[in-house]
């Protein structure tokens, strides 16, 4: 294994689909680990640093509700591409998971994975936590102008914030937890968006914490039952 080689994890159950996807990444200068079910994804990510995830849409459609929630949680951590293929023609269509932006596998690798520091999955629990939160698009942070909302769930890595406001995947914004002792604005990255619409899903944004003070780490750890460790 070459240490600087980009490493992706491919999730695909069907053997013909696996073959087509692996052929598509073969000339991109990346290593690609294969798992055949979403249920096996966590184990693969805990043991191997990864630059991005490739998911066959059939795997995500057929997985359980808890597994779907797990995939959404991963959007706070990894770049992710959702793919569909036609074994008869060999055609592959792909969308950025979370935003729905059309992009090819090669564009996904070049624009999102090459600039992403490879990470292992840390087993930080996600808990339902309705904590008050303020959201602002920029700093200096104006608490009077900031959007007032609540978190729906929280982990050491990030949180899901109820909102029907605008936002783009990959966009950076700042949040403040007004009930924390340390009210320093926290930079976050929007990893996925659940729009308001049919289906009844809670609208909002999943965000990843980019920087936390030691006091903020401790307070989040008290809420989640998990103490953050260095990446």
Q: In the prediction, which pLDDT does 230 show?
A: 34
Give the residue among 177, 158, 188 at the shortest CA–CA distance from 76: 158
Q: In the prediction, which pLDDT does 107 show?
A: 94
Q: Determine which helix (DSSP H) or strand (DSSP E) holds 95, and give its type and residue range.
A: strand 91-96
Q: In the prediction, which pLDDT does 134 show?
A: 96
| Residues 190-221 as b or e (16 or more Cβ within 10 Å = b) | bbbbbeeeeeeeeebbbbbbeebeeebbebbe
Cβ within 8 Å of residue 201, ≥6 positions away? 194
Task: Tell me which DSSP letter residue 119 carries.
Answer: B
Please check whether residue 217 is in contact with residue 227, taking contact to mean a CB–CB distance below 8 angstroms: yes
Q: In the prediction, which pLDDT does 228 show?
A: 40
Answer whether 0.85 is exceeded by the pTM. Answer: no
Q: In the prediction, which pLDDT does 2 show?
A: 38
**Would you write out the chain's pLDDT as a tens digit for each of its 231 residues?**
334 689 999 999 999 999 999 999 998 989 999 999 998 888 888 888 899 999 999 987 878 877 887 888 788 788 999 999 998 998 999 999 877 789 999 999 999 998 888 888 866 667 888 999 999 999 999 988 999 999 998 988 899 999 987 788 889 999 999 999 999 999 999 988 888 876 667 889 989 899 999 999 999 988 887 544 333
| Alpha-carbon distances, residue 222 vs 129, 214, 217, 218 (angstroms) | 11, 12, 9, 6
**Domains defined for the chain, CATH in brackets:** 6-113 (3.40.50.2300), 127-224 (2.40.10.220)
Q: In the prediction, which pLDDT does 227 show?
A: 45
Q: In the prediction, which pLDDT does 1 show?
A: 34
Q: How far apart are CA 61 and CA 209, in angstroms?
A: 28
């Amino acid at each position: 294994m070459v240490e600087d080689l980009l490493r992706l994890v491919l999730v695909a159950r069907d053997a013909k689909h696996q073959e087509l996807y692996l052929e598509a990444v073969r000339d991109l200068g990346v290593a690609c680990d294969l798992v055949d079910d979403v249920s096996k994804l966590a184990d693969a990510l805990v043991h191997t640093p990864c630059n991005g995830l490739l998911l066959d849409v059939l795997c995500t459609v057929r997985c359980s509700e808890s597994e779907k929630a797990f995939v959404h949680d991963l959007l706070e951590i990894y770049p992710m591409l959702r793919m569909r293929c036609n074994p008869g023609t060999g055609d592959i269509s792909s969308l950025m998971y979370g935003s729905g932006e059309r992009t090819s596998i090669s564009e996904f690798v070049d624009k999102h994975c090459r600039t992403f520091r490879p990470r292992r999955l840390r087993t930080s629990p996600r808990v339902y936590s309705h904590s008050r939160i303020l959201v602002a698009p920029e700093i200096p942070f104006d608490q009077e102008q900031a959007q007032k909302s609540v978190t729906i769930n929280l982990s050491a890595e990030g949180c899901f914030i109820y909102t029907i406001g605008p936002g783009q995947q990959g966009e950076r914004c700042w949040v403040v937890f007004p009930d924390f002792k340390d009210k320093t604005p926290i930079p976050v990255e929007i990893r996925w968006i659940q729009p308001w619409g049919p289906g009844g899903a809670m609208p909002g944004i999943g965000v990843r914490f980019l920087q936390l003070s030691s006091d903020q780490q401790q307070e989040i750890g008290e809420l989640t039952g998990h103490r953050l460790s260095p990446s």
